[in-house]
Structure 1
Amino acid sequence: MSERTSTLSKAERTRDNLEPAVPHVEQANAAKAKLDALIEAKGQRPNIVWFLIDDMGYGDPGAFGGGEAIGAATPNMDRLAREGLKLTSTYSQPTCTPTRSAILTGRLPVRTGLTRPILAGDRVGKNPWEDEISLAALLSDSGYTTVLSGKWHVGEAEGMRPHDVGFDEFYGFYPAQKELSQAFDKRRYPDLLLNPERLAALRAEGGSEALIHGWKGGRTEEASRITCLDDVADGDRKLKEFSIGKIRELAASGKPFFLEHAFMKVHADNFPSKAFEGASSSKFPYKDSVVEVDTYIGEIVDALDQAGVLENTFIFITSDNGPQRDSWPDAGYSPFRGAKSSAWEGGVRVPGIAYWKGMISPGRESDGLFDLMDLFNTCLALAGAEDKVPQDRYIDGISQVSFLLCDGGESCREKVFIWAEKDLMAMRMYEYKIHIKVMTTHAQWLDIDMTTVASVGIAPWLFNLYIDPKEEYPVGHRMNAFIAPMSAELKAHAATFKKFPPKDIGL
């Protein structure tokens, strides 16, 4: 099966449940030969390590225009970007839970029902994981040891925990950092902390306030309780120590492994651990936390090197969405319009760094499109488990192995579809971005708390991101000839939901 949707498109659909991809035959063959040679030399499939930073802005790392220039040096991320592939058009979902579920399923959140963060008091009508298949489960079935260290935030009820959905081991926190700190910070939440009845009501919701250790099969323990803000501040240090110890253990096992290290920081409210208070030039807690995260990335990568597995490990560094500007100044920076929760570039365009010593040539930079859902297909391909990509549901991810591994490699992705909860908002195709719904923020930076969604008027809002990266002035039909074919691509995307209906889990 091979079909193209519009005259503007070069992507081909090879199966009705797979997102169309641009075929790069020579590139794919070269990447396969390169990977096969490594597997033969190492005697096993490559390890996979993800660093998922919470709410870090596109402009926070130095490699993406931030770093020391904005008061928080990031030498480790910068070095990995310099010695690997810097991806300048990497896309997430607008908020946390949607991204975290999407990268593990290769599916848009509107398909899985995980369309927004799961918060204290939420009750889902159906466990979405009952009929979803996670990357961790597929890799575990393929001989990998799968570990999640850090933030989960995709459900903490039995059946929805990381060690229930495919991870062999989980060491981390179910909720976001703010959901832990709010129960102890009386200066920021006085109406909660100074009102015992309301604090008791919050805790009656049953949300976890502990560092959890869980294993496949259901065994679950509390490693430690959160009893004060110092415990919140120290969370990422504990997670880092666990990941370093686990790497030593996994490297000695002789089996390939998948480690997702998901930081609690730099999600508001930020409290840097004692060793990092004032560590940034700015001295603000958010910036200190950026320095802390960057330092831990360096230490974990060093642990891979010391364990002798760095050259056989694919590393990817990113953020789960744009910065949460509602909490400013406890927030990151994006040079683009909008922020977390927004369909504008500031909400969904995030740093992307692919590093693999000896496999990804140093000094590469590309504006080729990379959706974080592509990690699902890419990692299955690296594991030799392409045949495990499900055929009974729509998969929005695309394997990007050839793009990542080949010098001068081109992206296999042609389009990124941007949803905000259950609304299809926009699509990026090449350097163009077309909006069929737009977000209006009614107070400066309150992209979550004071934003409304509206349909566009007579024509979609079409921007050329190469001349207008802030999406300030639509070029529209008067300056662009591609509204019709891009609209056809949007219609083709919408049509996939007729054959593969979305789920509603009552979130």
Structure 2
Amino acid sequence: MGRKRTGRFWRCAAIALAVATGGHAAWAQSVPVGGGVVQGPGTPGPIKRGKAPGYDFQDQYIGIPGKSVADNMEPMIDHPDQTAEVGKKLADLQRKTGKKPNIIVFLMDDVGWMDFGFNGGGVTLGAPTPDVDKVAAQGLVLTSAYSQPSCSPSRATILTGQLPIHHGLLRPPMYGEAGGLNGKPTIASMLSAQGYVTQAIGKWHVGENEGSQPQNAGFDDFRGFLSVSDMYTEWRDPNFNPEVALSPTRSRLIEEAPFNKYDVHAAKGGKIENVGLITVDYSRDLDQRWANYAVDFLKRQKGGSKPFFLYYGTRGCHFDNYPNAFYAGRSPARNDYTDCLVEMNDIFARLYKTLEETGEIDNTMIVFTSDNGPEQEIDPHGRTPFRGGKGSTWEGGVRVPTFVYWKGMIGPRKSDGLFDFADILPTSLSLAGVKGAAMGEKMGAGNYLDGVDQTSFLLADNGASNRRSILYFWNTQFAAVRMDEFKFTMLTQDPYAMTPNGNHGGFTGTVSQTAGGTMFNLYANPQEDNSVAIRHLPIAIPVGAEIARYQQVLRKYPPKVQIGFTTGK
């Protein structure tokens, strides 16, 4: 970043914090380090400590400092009791199976928090998802799981364990734009080093340059496409882009643009091989083609001596959805988005059934989620009960439908404990045997690990989150921080500011700074339309101080930009 942009970044964040906390930004410096140990009774409900009035509750950490793990790792909340409980669980399982656990990340595209039945959607919205809901009901449903505002930043966060401000993919690269992983250590390369078979299937979209392609980012094998669904079809479809599709000159311009237009395959260290040109017709069956590939992969792992990591990114339900003959009209709502949701349910069911048939279900942790909130510029689209959508840092843009399933290891429950996509990498590493400060060493000098190890949260019978806060960024700008039920906001997106008519999502409108004292209680006001900061300064001060803490992190590990928006760089 240039000096001018960096200065602006620090100045905006510092002013917002100073106003909100009455000039007490230094408060964060007085918080003792090395804390973060929380001892609870291990049972649901309130925690009564001493004779003070009221109760403390699990997963509420305002007033509890984080525990430092390593200089280049995010502090965490330590729960010794649940860590010991989970350690015994995992040791017993490994003695039984003789190998480390398998890990699957099932990542959908643009699916909203409320689309699936386990969060109130499903049949209610004319898109029944019975198989997904059944598995979710047997696992841990995370009601406060967070992505990034859009797909490429989210995917890079899963792969690197870093927030976009550190991995540098601040928005999706489109139509041949540069921007990618550029040799960063990834979850795949780290798990591969621990003896895992690593497979990526489906949407990639974290850079098409050779060094950022999956076969060069730690994966043994890849089948999918390198970019995003609409980029292959929208310019071919005269219903959406007649100005291109019906102009030979303009069509040729896109055909010659420097991006791969194929469904591809690649083996580790090899070159991309084109499998099929992605036309409108080809895209109708793309998710089924990938599902077939995944089923074949899982069957090959049956009885294998090595554990596997499967990173599965669906094409659906990113616009434009072109249902195949079997799924067209298959949802009661009968639109292409809800038809796609039904297909996603069936694809997940196929993978789950294959795990059962191969005998790997007992030794496999499944993380089921979506890369961001619902896109809202193009109808029909997904649904969220929260304000905003994809492209914004409102809750609707970044709070995503998520559950974690592991038969016999995770009991059925719901938790509002905080979970970030960055946590997937350190949690997976921990399951593979790399723990504590060793994770920071694996990241390498100069790389900050924004994720925290959530193994004990996920696997303990009544596990509490090990994450103290959620940090929201829009481009290079610090937008907000959440601690417990409170969200302190410095930057907002107003989709109606310039275009009062039409569909409005996170990519439409303007971005503006708050006056400095904007804080929402997400329990009382999930729509984020009533600030409580001034009345609740005793909360706003410590929540705002979390911003100052992370500013110090960014001074040691500066922001990086591979690709971003012009505004606010």
Shift of 1:481: 2.0
Q: Counterpart amino acid of 1:414? A: R
Corresponding residue to 1:447 among 491, 495, 505: 505
| Partner residue of 2:388 out of 329, 334, 338 | 338
Unaligned runs of 5+ in 1: none
Whether 1:99 and 2:154 are equivalent positions in the alignment is yes
The 1-side partners of 2:75 and 2:143 are apart by 22
- Residue 138 (structure 2) aligns with: 83
Whole-Å Cα distance in 2 between the matches of residues 372 and 64 of structure 1?
19
Match of 1:465 in 2: 522
2:173 to 109, 118, 125: 118
Q: Deviations over 1:38-75 (max 9, x none)?
A: 01110000000111000000010000010000010011
Distance 1:376 1:428 in 2: 21
Any idea what the Cα deviations from partners look like across 1:80-123, whole Å, max 9, x if unmatched? Answer: 11011111000000000000000111001111111110100313
Q: Does 1:423 align with 2:477?
A: yes
What is the correspondence of 1:346-385 to structure 2 with a 5 Å cutoff? 346-361=396-411, 363-385=412-434
Instruction: Give the 3-state SS of the residue equivalent to 1:436 in structure 2.
Output: strand
Is the 2:33–2:66 contact (alpha carbons within 8 Å) kept by the matching residues of 1? no
Structure 2: gaps of 5 or more residues = 1-31, 37-60, 565-569
Query: In structure 2, what is the equivalent of residue 208 of structure 1?
Result: 260
In the superposition, the TM-score normalised over structure 2's length comes to: 0.86
Pairing 1:173-322 to 2, within 5 Å after superposition? 173-226=225-278, 228-322=279-373
What one-letter code is carried by the residue in structure 1 that aligns with 2:104?
V
The CA distance in 2 between the partners of 1:91 and 1:448, in whole Å, is 16
Change (3 A) 1:259 1:128: closer
Distance 1:460 1:258 in 2: 44
Q: 1:171 to 1:128 in 2, by over 3 A?
A: closer
Q: Distance in 2 between matches of 1:223 and 1:506?
A: 28
Runs of 4+ in 1 over 4 A off after TM superposition: 4-7
Q: What code does the residue aligned with 1:368 have?
A: G
Q: Distance in 2 between matches of 1:391 and 1:217?
A: 22
Question: CA 1:303–1:168 in structure 2 vs 1: closer, same or farther (change >3 Å)?
Answer: same
RMSD of Structure 2 on Structure 1 (CA): 1.6
CA contact (8 A) 1:237 1:273 kept: no
User: Post-superposition shift, 1:502?
Assistant: 1.9
Q: Secondary structure at the match of 1:477?
A: coil
How far apart are the structure 2 equivalents of 1:165 and 1:307?
28
What is the deviation of 1:169?
0.4
User: Which one is further off, 213-222 or 26-35?
Assistant: 213-222
| Secondary structure of 2:212's aligned partner | coil
Distance 2:519 2:347 in 1: 40
Residue in 1 that maps onto 2:15: none
Q: Which amino acid in 2 is paired with 1:461?
A: T
Which amino acid is the alignment partner of residue 533 of structure 2? G
Mapped contact 2:390–2:507 kept (Cα < 8 A):
no
| Counterpart mapping for 1:401-440 below 5 A | 401-440=455-494
- Once the two structures are overlaid, the 10-residue window that deviates more, 50-59 or 152-161, is 152-161
Q: Is the 8 A contact 1:432 1:463 kept in 2?
A: yes
1:394 aligns with 2:451: no
Q: CA deviation at 1:191?
A: 0.6
Matches within 5 A, 1:120-139: 120-124=175-179, 128-130=181-183, 132-139=184-191
Matched residues, percent identical? 37
**Is it true that 1:36 corresponds to 2:94 in the alignment?**
no
CA apart distance, 1:172: 0.3
Distance 1:238 1:461, change over 3 A: same
2:102 to 47, 59, 69: 47
- Residues 478-501 of structure 1, C-alpha deviations (whole Å, 9 max, x = no match): 145211111111011111111111
Q: Distance in 1 between matches of 2:296 and 2:467?
A: 36
* Superposed CA offset, 1:185-211 (max 9, x none): 111110110011111111211222211
- Counterpart-to-counterpart distance in 2, 1:251 and 1:140: 18
**SS of residue paired to 1:491:** helix
CA shift, 1:385, in A, is 2.3
Match of 2:11 in 1: none
Contact 1:2 1:14 in 2 (8 A): no
Aligned to 2:218: 166
Q: Tell me how far apart the structure 1 counterparts of residues 537 and 141 of structure 2 sit (CA, whole Å).
A: 29
Q: Distance in 1 between matches of 2:341 and 2:74?
A: 35
Counterparts of 2:214 and 2:334, CA distance in 1 = 35
Q: After alignment, is 347-356 or 177-186 more displaced?
A: 177-186
How far residue 7 of structure 1 moved from its aligned partner, in angstroms, is 6.9
Larger Cα Rg: Structure 1 or Structure 2? 2
AA aligned to 1:166 is: G
Q: Out of 149-158 and 8-17, give the one that drifted further.
A: 8-17
| Displacement after TM superposition at 1:76 (Å) | 1.4
Query: Residue 481 of structure 1: SS of its match in structure 2?
Result: helix
For residues 500 and 353 of structure 1, what CA distance do their matches in structure 2 show?
31
Cα shift at 1:446? 1.8
Shift, 1:504, TM fit: 2.6
Offset from partner CA, 1:308-360 (integer Å, 9 cap, x none) = 1000000010000000010122x100010000001000000001110000100
Query: What's the CA shift string for 1:227-280, capped at 9, x where partnerless?
Result: x31211110000000000000112243210000110011001111222111110
3-state DSSP of counterpart to 1:276: coil
Check 1:13–1:391 CA distance in 2 against 1; reply closer, same or farther (3 A cut).
Answer: farther
